[in-house]
Structures are given as structure tokens and as C-alpha cells.
Amino acid sequence: MKVHKVTPRGFCLGVVKSIKMAKDALRLYPNKDIYMIGLLVHNKIVVSELEELGIKMLDDWKIPREELIKTIPKDSVVILSAHGTNKKVIELANQLGLICIDTKCEWVLETEQLIEKHLNLGYKVIFIGKENHPETLALTSLDKENIYLVTNIEQVNELNIKCDKIFATNQTTLSIIDTDLIYKAISLKYPQVLIKNDICEATYVRQNAVLQLNEKEIQLLYVVGDKRSNNTMKLVELGIQKNIRTIRIDTKNDINLEDLKNVETVAITAGASTSSVVQNQVIKFLEEL
């Protein structure tokens, strides 16, 4: 079977940095309990490996981080995810006597600083994001009165912002196609808007690589990554939009041989939080068929 390895794929620099900071914490604080609020990165395999090293994971899927932080014993270490964290959570952690290690992605930090800059200049902010995603929760928490979250064009049409100064930006891991359409709707409704599309470089180049695939040559596209990874799921969506049969898998164990019947060429890509080890296992398995 011919295997087309889409490049780039897998770990972005932000994920590499976050994992390194988490592992460094084990070395720097060998005698302290170390906790991780939520998923450090959206990949359960990576998170499981960190748990095996001794980091205790507190999932924030249903419980707000403000509440989870209160359950951590004083003088413990708390690792905050790459997606960003509400500043009030960090302040609370410091008040509770916890040692904070913030692994926030540099691209998310840049978006945060842009939002704060425009809020201080008197702008209303429209933020395009996925509802309840940790990055969206962190960035919209900067000012709940003056930041307006939209997830689709319908919500743009429902906006009623009475201000001449409007700034629009977005979550870093969205679909480049969907985001562009939403920005066009915002510009149509608010011609005075200032726009800064902040889809990160890692997300952009991975999505663009999928968009460049030739749907006449590729019969099947595997996207290796966690279902809670937004950038992974957007790669799946773009593959489908290209009219390529696209399947998301966590590991090679998820490959169903029935899906490969009459398939001559399969393409492989991976989300930005998927390790090269897992990707290479998938590639090797397919190449040996």
C-alpha cells in the first residue's frame, strides 16, 4: 500500500514546550505533590504518560477550574495547560499557597495581549472560538462585559454592539476556512472592525497541507489525534470538505482493515498534540500491509 505522509504533522513547538515544562517540574520539585488542571494538551496518551510519571490530573471537563484549584493541598505544584488559563484562577492559586507553572502557548499569550491592548483602548472585542474550549474560556474571561463570543455566522448576525471601536480575533486552532467566512460576516455587519486573524502557524500549515492533497489520488486520509483536540478535528473536517474519505484514529489499534479494502493510496496527518512515536507506528503498520 502506498502511504502519503502529509507534512508537517504532529507536535507543534507549543506542545513540546508544555510537555517539557511538566517534566521539568518533576525534577525541580521532587518532594512535592504535582497536579495538572485539565488536560495539559489535548491528547490522552500524552496525559497518561505524565500521570505515570507521577503528575496527578484533575479533569476540568465538568468542574470549573476555580473550584478544582481549591481542592489542591497548600504548597503543592499546579501545572496549567498550554491552552491558557483564566487569570483569576492563577491569582487564586497564589492566594492558596500553590506553586504555579503556566505552560501557556506563546501564540495564545500573544492573542491575550492583543485583546487586553484593545480593551484598554476602549474597544469592544468579538472573539471567534469554540464554546467551552479551554482557550476560549481563558481569553473571554478577560472581560465578560466587553468580549463577545461567536462560534458561527448566525451568532454574528445576532450581535448588537453599540460602539465605533470594534476589534475581532479568534481561537488559535480553528478551521482556516470557517474562520475566514465568519470574519467576512463580521466585516459586513461592522465595516469599521479591526481584524487580527490569530490562527497559529502550526494550525495553519497543517490545515493547508490537507487542503493541498489531491482527492483524485488519495482514497483515504487518516488523522491521528485525540477527539478532544480541536486542531485534530478541524483536520478531519477539512479532509471531508476536500471529498476525501477521512477517519480519525488515536493509534494504529484503531485501524479497521475493512476500511482499507480497494484502497491503493492512504494519506496520514496528525494533530499538533500527537507524538511522532504514535504517528510512526501508524505509518509502519500501513506500509507493511
Q: How far is residue 31 from each of residues 27, 35, 37, 99, 170, measured CA to CA in Å?
A: 9, 13, 19, 13, 40
Report the alpha-carbon distance of residue 67 to residue 52 in Å, rounded: 25
Query: What cell does 157 get?
Result: 448576525
Report the alpha-carbon distance of residue 99 to residue 75 in Å, rounded: 7
Report the alpha-carbon distance of residue 42 to residue 114 in Å, rounded: 25
For 166-191, give one letter per residue: b (16+ CB within 10 A) or e: bbbbbbbbbbbebbeebbebbeebbe
Q: Are 268 and 239 in contact (CB under 8 A)?
A: no
Catalytic (active site) residue 135: yes
For 263-275, give one letter per residue: b (16+ CB within 10 A) or e: eeebbbbbbbbbb
* Number of residues that this document lists for the chain: 289
> Which residue in the list 135, 145, 237, 264 is annotated as catalytic?
135
Secondary structure element (H or E) that encloses residue 185, with its range: helix 176-189
Q: Which residues are catalytic?
A: 135
